[in-house]
């Protein structure tokens, strides 16, 4: 932890009573425990001191009816995050100091049933009022009888808010989901979705337009909400990887690594160096194929098919390379707690080395082709600008933040695993338009290839799984954080251990959840026809945000 921050926390600890602030440090975070009514003030203090809001999670504490809320911050020049934690029946909303926490608090309020006082927007976010009637039936038949749920005091006492109330009550209470325009005379609404025209995921966009120009846009998500976090409750800690891979298909590796690191930190497991190195290779392969989809999509959305088909050819070739290297086109079922499920074979790694070199030549040519085409540049310049200040205040992550001039790569700032030993070059640009996001993603692909080649050069031999793993001996009630830099930005996992190696709590914040709010800002003043392009340049995951 950064010295200035440690001094700040110590200062606060001196000024406040012991019951009001307690600090403890684990290998994954500096935990500061406080009272619910002090949360907004403390959040304001750490934000003022330069910390960046990362995520907020609510989970049942070990006492009945008491919930714990954890607000997690990334601290500059610090290798681990700061977590402000409070437990209680009611919380004070921090949305006045952290505007983007509104989404997190709306979700926490709905899922926990606890109140966040001062939260103005209390529209349900997870279960849509018009669909709520189907939830209860389902829970009565399958979920309510889940032994792990019943055994948990807090869950048993009031379950999730959505189960405690009948669907009908929920719809009556919240009514129809209302979209809020700017109220200007002559404003039209354009509803789009949930089923879109392209081969993409479902989500609803409500445009409030004045002629062609977008005055306001609201995103309504959660069409894909399945309940991954709740489903993981009570399962074996090393048995939920298939579930975590389902958070967001093209971030499977990054999410699994973040989860594995959270478990490793709370269980005190050291991952062998060779496993870290191969995890790095898998994560960078994932970044390459994921970015190729975005780059090709951007070219496609401006009608530049010559370039987009070439990106598609490269993507399919990369997917086939993935399959030969790891056995799965999506690099799945490789990550395990403590390392990897078996090493990547030497032949595979040799093939990978040759494959990425060939790929790089094609990639450079195609990048040049796009960036020297005036018809392409004309559409992407100054389109969908996300201003630096806006991006900062909304805690945006990933390539989107970097295109708006914010360095936030956790591979560098909170280096983990194999990245500790390799200096990652983080491309940062200015302007925050579609053009810059295209450039940043191109830069990241090239950096990924460099990292893979670097990693392949210092070929390490050795085991890829930690020895003597006994997850069933991990004491219950330990909390660990894990993060990784997914293609779309950093993700954050919070894991609490239960008895006998079971999971007590799993909470997930994917990069998409942070960035969806920013897209509402980036489209303002643009024409409706440019929305698909702007959306593609963000390329956020719907499934990752909905979980």
Residues that bind another protein in the complex, under the rule CB under 8 A: 126-128, 130-132, 134-135, 138-139, 142-143, 146, 160, 162-163, 194-195, 197-202, 222-228, 230-231, 242-243, 245-250, 252, 293, 309-310, 312-313, 315-317, 319, 329-330, 332, 361-362, 365-366, 541-544, 546
Nearer to another protein, 149 or 279 (CB): 149
How far is residue 531 from each of residues 66, 131, 191, 338, 524, measured CA to CA in Å?
A: 43, 28, 13, 43, 10
Strand-pairing partners, residue 21, are 34
Smallest separation, CB 437 to another protein (Å): 19
Question: Which secondary-structure segment (H or E) carries 311?
Answer: helix 305-326
Nearer to another protein, 315 or 514 (CB): 315
Nearer to another protein, 16 or 231 (CB): 231
How far is residue 16 from each of residues 12, 23, 278, measured CA to CA in Å?
A: 6, 12, 46
Nearer to another protein, 77 or 226 (CB): 226
Smallest separation, CB 178 to another protein (Å): 17
Smallest separation, CB 173 to another protein (Å): 17
Nearer to another protein, 74 or 514 (CB): 514
Give the whole-angstrom CA distance, residue 155 versus residue 61: 10
Q: Indicate if the alpha-carbon torsion angle 212, 214, 215, 216 is positive or negative.
A: positive
Nearer to another protein, 249 or 353 (CB): 249
Pairing of strands 90-92, 82-88: unpaired
For tokens 């070739």, the residue is 317
Tell which phi-psi region holds residue 158, choosing left (phi > 0), alpha (psi between -120 and 50) or beta: alpha
Nearer to another protein, 343 or 487 (CB): 487
CA-based nearest residue to 256, from 269, 239, 244: 244
Question: Which secondary-structure segment (H or E) carries 255?
Answer: helix 252-267
Smallest separation, CB 53 to another protein (Å): 26
Nearer to another protein, 432 or 532 (CB): 532
Question: Which secondary-structure segment (H or E) carries 339?
Answer: strand 339-340
DSSP of 126-182, one letter per residue?
A: SS-TTTHHHHHHHIIIIITT-HHHHHSHHHHHH--HHHHS-HHHHHHHH-SPPP---
Smallest separation, CB 273 to another protein (Å): 30
Helix, strand, coil percentages (3-state) for the chain, rounded to 5, are 50, 15, 35
Smallest separation, CB 476 to another protein (Å): 23
Helix (H/G/I), strand (E/B), else coil: 76: coil
Smallest separation, CB 148 to another protein (Å): 11
* CA quadruple 80, 16, 104, 230: dihedral, nearest 10: 80
Nearer to another protein, 228 or 466 (CB): 228
CA-based nearest residue to 544, from 507, 511, 502, 501: 511
Nearer to another protein, 174 or 309 (CB): 309
Smallest separation, CB 52 to another protein (Å): 27
Helix (H/G/I), strand (E/B), else coil: 214: strand
Smallest separation, CB 365 to another protein (Å): 6
Smallest separation, CB 249 to another protein (Å): 3
Nearer to another protein, 122 or 231 (CB): 231
Give the whole-angstrom CA distance, residue 67 versus residue 72: 16
For the chain, the distance separating the N- and C-terminal CA atoms, rounded to the nearest angstrom, is 31
Give the whole-angstrom CA distance, residue 95 versus residue 71: 12
Smallest separation, CB 204 to another protein (Å): 9
CA-based nearest residue to 81, from 54, 104, 100: 54
């Amino acid at each position: 932890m950064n010295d200035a921050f440690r001094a700040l926390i110590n200062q606060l600890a001196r000024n406040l009573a012991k019951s009001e602030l307690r600090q403890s440090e684990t290998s994954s975070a500096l935990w500061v425990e406080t009272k619910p009514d002090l949360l907004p003030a403390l959040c304001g203090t750490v934000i003022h001191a330069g910390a960046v809001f990362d995520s907020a999670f609510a989970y049942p504490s070990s006492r009945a009816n008491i919930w714990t809320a954890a607000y997690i911050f990334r601290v500059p020049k610090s290798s681990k995050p700061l977590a402000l934690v409070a437990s209680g029946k009611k919380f004070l909303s921090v949305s006045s100091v952290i505007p983007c926490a509104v989404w997190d608090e709306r979700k926490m309020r709905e899922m926990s049933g606890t109140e966040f006082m001062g939260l103005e927007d209390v529209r349900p976010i997870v279960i849509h009022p018009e669909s709520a009637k189907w939830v209860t039936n389902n829970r009565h038949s399958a979920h309510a009888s889940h032994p792990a749920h019943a055994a948990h005091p807090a869950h048993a006492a009031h379950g999730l808010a959505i189960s405690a109330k009948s669907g009908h009550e929920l719809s009556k209470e919240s009514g129809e989901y209302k979209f809020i325009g700017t109220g200007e005379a002559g404003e039209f609404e354009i509803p789009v979705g949930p089923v879109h025209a392209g081969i993409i995921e479902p989500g609803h966009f409500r445009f409030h337009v004045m002629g062609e120009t977008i005055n306001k846009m609201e995103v309504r998500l959660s069409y894909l909400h399945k309940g991954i976090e709740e489903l993981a409750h009570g399962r074996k800690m090393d048995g939920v990887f298939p579930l975590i891979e389902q958070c967001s298909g093209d971030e499977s590796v990054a999410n699994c690594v973040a989860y594995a690191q959270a478990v490793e930190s709370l269980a005190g497991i050291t991952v062998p160096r060779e496993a870290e190195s191969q995890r790095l290779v898998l994560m960078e392969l994932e970044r390459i194929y994921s970015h190729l989809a975005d780059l090709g999509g951007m070219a496609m959305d401006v009608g530049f098919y010559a370039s987009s088909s070439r990106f598609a050819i490269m993507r399919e070739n990369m997917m086939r390379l993935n399959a030969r290297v790891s056995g799965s086109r999506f690099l799945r079922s490789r990550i395990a707690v403590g390392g990897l499920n078996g090493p990547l074979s030497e032949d595979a790694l040799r093939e990978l080395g040759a494959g990425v070199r060939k790929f790089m030549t094609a990639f450079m040519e195609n990048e040049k082709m796009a960036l020297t085409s005036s018809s392409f540049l004309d559409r992407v310049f100054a389109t969908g600008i996300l201003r630096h200040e806006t991006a900062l205040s909304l805690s945006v992550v990933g390539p989107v933040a970097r295109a708006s001039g914010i360095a936030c790569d956790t591979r560098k700032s909170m280096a983990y695993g194999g990245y500790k030993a390799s200096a990652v070059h983080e491309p940062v640009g200015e302007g925050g338009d579609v053009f810059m996001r295209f450039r940043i993603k191109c830069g990241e692909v090239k950096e990924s290839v460099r990292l893979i080649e670097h990693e392949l050069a210092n070929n390490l031999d050795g085991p890829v799984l930690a020895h003597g793993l006994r997850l069933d001996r991990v004491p219950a009630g330990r909390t660990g954080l894990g993060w990784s830099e997914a293609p779309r930005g950093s993700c954050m996992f919070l894991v609490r251990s239960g008895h006998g190696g079971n999971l007590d709590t799993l909470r997930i914040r994917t990069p998409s959840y942070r960035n969806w709010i920013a897209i509402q800002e980036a489209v303002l003043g643009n024409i409706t026809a440019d929305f698909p392009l702007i959306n593609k340049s963000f390329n956020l995951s719907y499934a990752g945000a909905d979980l």
